[in-house]
């Protein structure tokens, strides 16, 4: 569904998504179960984010008849992971869209200028013919997501969407200000951002919880 006051935000409120998200939020969830739940959630969210993919008619032979059937049209979709937590979403979305291509973008925040600085950028070829889904579990300040999207727009892709697990009003505001054309797909919009840039109530540091690096 699209939220009425923020038409670019698609809240994925399927009961399975909400149930798994609640299990992930619990502080006692182990690294193993956090990662497994993120994988399952990513599969479910992949259905929503790919719902409007272009289709084409193809003629095929079943064992009984020839028929005209539907297949996905166009160049392969690209999932772009914002390092490192975005990688936690890749396995799940790729199990649903196995032919997709994958790009990676790494950004860090310069402590003096507070600007996002790119340290890694590797994309498939022919990006101008492709649709992109940028993945990162947490859309918090929105600064890295916005910087990643600004960089990706230089490649002139056909479209860009953003897929996350959790966001908050601050992250949505940043994206709406800088990239109002990019639809956000999320399982929840939490209350607020803390002074330290964490989503509240949230689920803590997604990267640490995925990789067990706390
Ligand atoms: N990144 C995280 O991993 N968690 C937050 O709450 C915010 C940003």
Query: Which structure tokens are listed for 40?
Result: 């399952």
Q: Is residue 32 part of a domain?
A: yes
Query: Which structure tokens are listed for 106?
Result: 């790494």
Peptide bond into 84 cis (omega under 30): yes
Q: Is residue 77 part of a domain?
A: yes
- pLDDT value of position 3: 53
pTM for the full model? 0.94
Pocket lining: 210 vs ligand 1, CB cutoff 6 Å: no
- pLDDT value of position 67: 98
CB neighbours of 170 closer than 8 A, spacing ≥ 6? 140, 141, 142, 192, 193
> What secondary structure, in 3-state letters, does 118-187 show?
EEEEECCCCHHHCEEEEECCEECCCHHHHHHHHHHHCCCCCEEEEECCEECHHHHHHHHHHCCCCEEEEC
Q: Would the pLDDT of 5 be above 70?
A: no
Total number of domains constituting the chain: 1
Q: Would the pLDDT of 71 be above 60?
A: yes
Most ligand 1 atoms within 8 A of CB, residue of 89, 145, 198 to mutate: 198
pLDDT digits (tens, 9 = 90+) for 172-185: 999 999 999 999 99
Q: Is residue 155 part of a domain?
A: yes
Query: Which structure tokens are listed for 87?
Result: 């990688």
Q: Is residue 28 part of a domain?
A: yes
Least confident of 3-17, 72-86, 125-139: 3-17
Ligand 1 centroid, distance to 168 Cα (angstroms): 11
Query: Strand pairing partners for 6?
Result: 3
- pLDDT value of position 114: 67
Comparison of pLDDT for 164 and 7, the residue scoring more: 164
C-alpha span between 34 and 204 (Å, rounded): 12
pLDDT digits (tens, 9 = 90+) for 77-94: 999 999 999 999 999 999
Pocket lining: 147 vs ligand 1, CB cutoff 6 Å: no
Instruction: Report, as an integer, the average pLDDT of 154-158.
Output: 97
Phi/psi region, residue 167 (left: phi>0; alpha: psi -120 to 50; beta: rest), is: beta
Pocket lining: 78 vs ligand 1, CB cutoff 6 Å: no
Q: Could you list the residue range(s) of the whole structural domain that residue 47 is in?
A: 7-54+72-205
Bridge-based pairing state of the strands 183-186 and 6-11: parallel
Q: What are phi and psi of 62, to 5 degrees?
A: -85, 175
Residue nearest to atom 4 of ligand 1 (CA): 205
Q: Is residue 146 part of a domain?
A: yes
Q: Is residue 213 part of a domain?
A: no
Q: Is residue 128 part of a domain?
A: yes
DSSP at 75: S
Q: Is residue 192 part of a domain?
A: yes
**Closest ligand 1 atom to 202 CA:** 6
The whole-chain average pLDDT of the chain stands at 94
CATH code, domain with 32:
3.40.50.2020
Q: Would the pLDDT of 21 be above 60?
A: yes
Q: Would the pLDDT of 7 be above 60?
A: no
User: Is the CB of residue 9 less than 8 Å from the CB of residue 3?
Assistant: yes
Percent of the chain residues topping a pLDDT of 90? 90
Peptide bond into 96 cis (omega under 30): no
């Amino acid at each position: 569904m699209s939220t009425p006051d923020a038409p670019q935000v698609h809240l994925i409120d399927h009961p399975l998504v909400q149930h798994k998200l609640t299990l992930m939020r619990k502080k006692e969830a182990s690294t193993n179960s956090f990662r497994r739940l993120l994988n399952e959630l990513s599969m479910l969210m992949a259905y929503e984010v790919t719902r409007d993919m272009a289709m084409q008619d193809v003629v095929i032979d079943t064992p009984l008849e020839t028929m005209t059937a539907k297949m996905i049209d166009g160049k392969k979709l690209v999932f772009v992971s914002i390092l490192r937590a975005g990688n936690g979403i890749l396995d799940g979305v790729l199990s649903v869209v196995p032919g997709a291509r994958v790009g990676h973008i790494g950004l860090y925040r310069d402590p003096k200028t507070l600007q996002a600085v790119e340290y890694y950028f590797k994309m498939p070829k022919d990006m101008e013919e492709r649709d992109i889904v940028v993945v990162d579990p947490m859309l918090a300040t929105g600064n890295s997501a916005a910087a990643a999207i600004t960089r990706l727009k230089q490649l002139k892709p056909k479209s860009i969407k953003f897929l996350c697990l959790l966001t908050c009003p601050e992250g949505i505001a940043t994206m709406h200000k800088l990239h109002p054309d990019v639809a956000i797909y999320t399982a929840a919009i939490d209350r607020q951002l803390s002074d330290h840039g964490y989503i509240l109530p949230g689920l803590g540091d997604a990267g640490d919880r995925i990789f067990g690096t706390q």
